[in-house]
Homo-oligomer: A and B are copies of this chain.
Amino acid sequence: MSRSEDLRLIALAEFASAGYAATSLQRIADLVGASKASVLYHYDSKEQLLEAALAPALDDLSALIDATAASGLDLAHRAAFVERFVDYLLEHRQVVHLVINQGATLEDVPVMQSALVQMRRVADLFDLAAGSPVERLRYGIALGGAAYCLAAARQLDVVEEEPEILRAGLLAVISELLLPIADPAR
């Protein structure tokens, strides 16, 4: 794995767990075993490093949304979407955690602005604007709760070592929360 790939992955882990502001370039350099100037050789700035860290997950989310928006999210497709979305959360847990917890304070960073737009598009798939406050609560609890569980999997003693059990459990609870949300086509 190349040095720039290493940097991107380690930066994401630190940005997600410690916070973007609390993660210095020096810290990332130390973790990677290089100098701060080397970090800035590969990425023009701390902000560009954040952009590189988020980009793959945002591309995947955009693809997921585009595929879903075409067919709509009526009841026939709801369960399938929830399953794909849970898989997305499992695969990109650090980015999701980062965006929903630090997004508001980083919204003047272009890539984070873009990420927040994508998250709103997911919410829009459920047509939450037309729904009740309880439906929006269900959605928020599902999203925020899943993100928290995946970020804090170790502290919650949720079996990271058995990803199929984690996936099945997460899918069951998230489905319970999201499937009852009213069919937007009604």
Contact = CB atoms under 8 A, between A and B. Distances in A.
Count identical subunits in the complex: 2
On chain A, which size bracket covers the interface? 35 or more
Query: Main SS of chain A's interface residues?
Result: helix
Interface in A132-178: 133-134, 136-149, 152, 155-159, 162, 165-166, 169-170, 172-174, 176-177
Contacts of A19: 19, 21-22, 102, 105
A48 interface: no
A172 B134 contact: yes
A166 B170 CA distance: 25
A21 B22 CA distance: 5
Contacts of A146: 141, 144-145
Interface of A: 17-22, 100-102, 104-105, 123, 128-129, 133-134, 136-149, 152, 155-159, 162, 165-166, 169-170, 172-174, 176-177
